[in-house]
Amino acid sequence: MSCAVTAIVLSISLALFTDALYYIPKATLASVVISAMLFMPDYEEIGNIWRTKKLDMIPFLATALACLFYELDYGILVGIGINCCILLYLISSPGLSAEEMQLAGLSVLLVKVDQSLAFSSAECLRDWILKRVDQRDNIELVVIDGQNIHFADTTVAKNFVSIEEDLRIRRMRLMLWRFESKVAFAFLRMRKELFITLLRADVLLQDAVARWKHLNYQVTWDSSGVLRGVTVIGGGGLRTC
């Protein structure tokens, strides 16, 4: 109701007293605007932003300063631009963690990703994995846990192909575990003959590794029960160890 009264009074003033207001000095009008603006900011909310996430203060301060010293519309655009840059940085830098373990007779490096992947974040994942495996000589299988990956496009699938190829050069293998069906189908549409050997959906990691090993490793014995060799199947074809 108060807003309606204010709007009516303002409309009447503009319609009837415009000529009189013309002679009021601009400094006086500016002081009225400044006095009204002093009570508009929510200072308590600014404190909440500072306590909750200090990074959000960057677009806030940039917007406020740009609006104060330049123009309102450009100030808003500055704030939007800075916020978009922050979002792009966060998307491009996924949270990654790795855990080394022994499963089904294999030395496994389990890599966990905390968000969906875009092109830049997939590149970050690839570089991060290669850096970790280069620091460890005993890794045989790298497992990427895709439980938190809800979206992937063509560029992400290509990056996973590159990861598999880079690991194969290092005589390591790749397994993709717990990826959602829509993400898995996107990978299969990219390169079915490769990803069909990499994807596993078992509930337990130990079962997934055991099944993957059964499908990808062929052990041969001679008639006396002596191990003759292990043939790695899939990916780039056959390789006998």
pLDDT tens-place string over residues 164-210 = 999 999 989 999 999 999 999 999 998 999 999 899 989 999 999 99
**Looking at residue 47, what is its pLDDT?**
84
Classified as helix, coil or strand, 18 is helix
Nearest CA among 117, 61, 111 for reference residue 90 = 117
Prediction pTM value: 0.67
Nearest CA among 207, 202, 211, 204 for reference residue 234 = 211
Q: What is the CATH number of domain 96-214?
A: 3.30.750.24
**CATH 3.30.750.24 region(s) of the chain?**
96-214
pLDDT tens-place string over residues 99-141 = 999 998 899 999 999 998 888 889 999 999 999 999 988 899 9
